[in-house]
């Protein structure tokens, strides 16, 4: 599959949508993130992953700090807190590391089908629902825990009727 890459331009506001599969750090002098969309398109942006999440939360009339606080309160998540960017549209992302670390990767819970491993490789691979494989910087153990914690958070939101639309 040929990946199409397009650059982020300052006049363009990137909004995380249901099409967003992953937000990955990019250690380039200018570009700080790669955003992978479900059709295989990648967008490069000078914003760091955490900044993209902050921007997207603001675009949905909240803050990332508020979203993290709610996740901790609703589901009792302690570290590496998943972020529910917009509950009614199912925009929920989980981090691979501490969210403020420059090497933290973020994955859309709704796009993850499974976690796979490769013998001799300490990090896991995300298998997306459309069959794509995305190598990560986290161990399979961490990825499975994050996936589980995110699923529990989504379930709690559904129980509280905070979001009837959240679904995997």
Structural domain contains residue 31: yes
pLDDT for 88 equals 76
| Helix, strand, or coil (residue 57) | helix
Structural domain contains residue 165: no
What is the domain range of residue 89?
5-159
pLDDT for 155 equals 87
Structural domain contains residue 166: no
Structural domain contains residue 33: yes
Structural domain contains residue 73: yes
**Domain total of the chain:** 1
pLDDT tens for residues 79-131? 899 999 987 778 999 999 998 888 999 999 999 999 999 899 999 999 999 99
Burial of 114 (0-12, 13-18, 19+ CB in 10 A): middle
| Helix, strand, or coil (residue 162) | coil
Q: Judge if pTM exceeds 0.95.
A: no
Q: State percent of the chain over pLDDT 70.
A: 88
Structural domain contains residue 167: no
Residue spans of alpha helices (H) in 64-110? 64-75
């Amino acid at each position: 599959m040929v990946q199409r890459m397009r650059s982020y331009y300052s006049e363009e506001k990137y909004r995380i949508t249901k099409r967003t599969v992953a937000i990955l750090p990019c250690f380039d002098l200018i570009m700080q993130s790669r955003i992978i969309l479900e059709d295989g398109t990648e967008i490069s942006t000078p914003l760091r992953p955490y900044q993209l999440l902050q921007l997207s939360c603001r675009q949905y009339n909240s803050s990332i700090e508020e979203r993290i606080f709610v996740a901790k309160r609703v589901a009792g998540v302690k570290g590496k807190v998943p972020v529910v960017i917009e509950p009614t549209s199912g925009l929920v992302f989980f981090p691979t590391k501490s969210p403020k670390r420059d090497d933290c990767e973020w994955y859309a819970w709704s796009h993850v089908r499974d976690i796979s491993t490769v013998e001799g490789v300490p990090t896991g691979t995300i298998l997306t629902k459309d069959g794509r494989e995305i190598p990560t910087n986290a161990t399979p153990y961490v990825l499975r825990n994050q996936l589980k914690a995110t699923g529990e958070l989504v379930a709690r939101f559904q129980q509280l009727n905070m979001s009837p639309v959240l679904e995997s």
